[in-house]
Amino acid sequence: NYKQGRLSENDCPEKPLELFTQWLKEAVTSNCDEPNSFTLSTLKEGRPAARILLLKAVSETGLTFFTNYLSPKGKQLSSQPFASATFLWLPLERQIRVEGLVEKVSSQESDEYFNRRPYGSRIGSLASPQGEVVESREFLEKKFREFTAKYPEGSVIPRPENWGGYILKPQLIEFWQGRENRLHDRVQYSQGTQGWTKRRLAP
């Protein structure tokens, strides 16, 4: 039985990203493991493909994450620019599902985030052809050493053109709070021409 909390549609704000931000902050302060991790689901030739990513920013517009544009997920988003994100915080017995349109963020925003990354992560972005078949671990380590020699720590490392951010612009968001006897609380927001519509779903 889930007994950590409850969720009433009457107490939910009119804008779902306000509640999303509140729940994310509570996940952080509750010491949930990797509270900004989520499952990103995309479409691959009409079939679902999913992997775990890290959320890097939340704004009134949507949820931002970064990756290699030429990776499998990047190619899938290029051909089908829609995705869903699923967050799970077990200690709080909570889940959020987000569905919507995905767009690239500006080059400036990608540059700013790339330059904030740790040195090794920036070198890794240059060295790794993400998602492609490589001959061995040694191949990757060799590429890493080559770029380390080319860009010593403290030097300016250019952001690869094929690396940057995406923003998931929500069209549907569902908040799930575990309750006793499997009578969970589910509140769904859907976006229409007049704004957000909020309703309760059966568990």
Distance in Å from the first CA to the final CA of the chain:
14
**CA-to-CA distance for 169 and 193, rounded, in angstroms?**
15
Q: Is 182 a catalytic residue?
A: yes
Query: For 49-72, how does the pLDDT look when each residue is reduced to its tens digit (9 = 90+)?
Result: 999 999 999 999 999 999 999 999
- Tokens 């994450």 belong to which residue? 65
Active-site residue (options: 182, 186, 199, 200): 182
Tens digits of residue pLDDT in 146-197: 999 999 999 999 999 999 999 999 999 999 999 999 999 999 999 998 899 9
CA angle 196, 199, 200 (to 5 degrees): 150
Q: What is the pTM of this model?
A: 0.93
